[in-house]
Amino acid sequence: MITWTNAPVASGNFTITATNAAGSAVCDVDYDFIADVIAPNLPAEGTYHIVLGSIGTASLESINTGGAGTWETDGAEPAWLQVEADGSLTWTRPPGSPLTGSFTATATNEAGADTTRVNWVTDPSTRALTNTAIIEAVMPEAGGGCVRPLLH
């Protein structure tokens, strides 16, 4: 058996000769020492805050404290949220869709895999308004009937 300690990243070859009372044998050995691959290391869960009606991006890789991985999900993410193999998230959060949800994402590389629960939340107090946005106004009542909000 041949072992190495702290071998540098390198390639090469060497020759081994084994000898005993019956004679000897020669063997050429090629080797490749590659950098250690560290398995992904993810928190148990993380939360992303998404603004209603917004378009945005984020990266699951930013929560990975281990080696980079290829990302897959359990398929429970909403249709408006895409998860790419590199861990990037993109969304086009439509008005009227659910305010919270979650899915499971797994990062995998040659050294192993780790899983995290990804929560997404839309805070009702952070709504993006555009010219075509739906304004969700509560119509207060004042004695004689409904009072309409004044929009400029």
> Residue 6 falls within a domain, yes or no?
no
- The answer to whether residue 59 sits within a structural domain is yes
pLDDT of 41 reads 92
Question: Which residues, 6 or more positions from 38, have their beta carbon under 8 angstroms from its beta carbon?
Answer: 66, 67, 111
* pLDDT for the residue numbered 71: 94
Q: What is the pLDDT of residue 138?
A: 34
> Residue 95 sits in which domain range?
45-121
Q: Cβ atoms within 10 A of the Cβ of 137, count? A: 9
**Domain assignment of residue 104, yes or no:** yes
The burial of 42, by beta-carbon neighbours within 10 Å (0-12 exposed, 13-18 middle, 19 or more buried), is given as buried
Does 130 map to a domain?
no
The count of domains in the chain is: 1
Q: Tell me if 91 is assigned to some domain.
A: yes
Query: What is the pTM (predicted TM-score) of this model?
Result: 0.58
Number of H-type helices and E-type strands within the chain:
0, 11
Q: Is residue 49 part of a domain?
A: yes
pLDDT tens across the length of the chain (152 residues): 777 777 777 888 889 999 999 999 999 988 887 777 899 999 999 888 887 777 888 888 888 888 888 999 999 998 888 899 999 988 887 667 667 889 999 999 988 999 999 998 876 544 443 333 333 333 334 444 444 544 54
53: left (phi > 0), else alpha (psi -120 to 50), else beta? Answer: left
Q: Is residue 128 part of a domain?
A: no
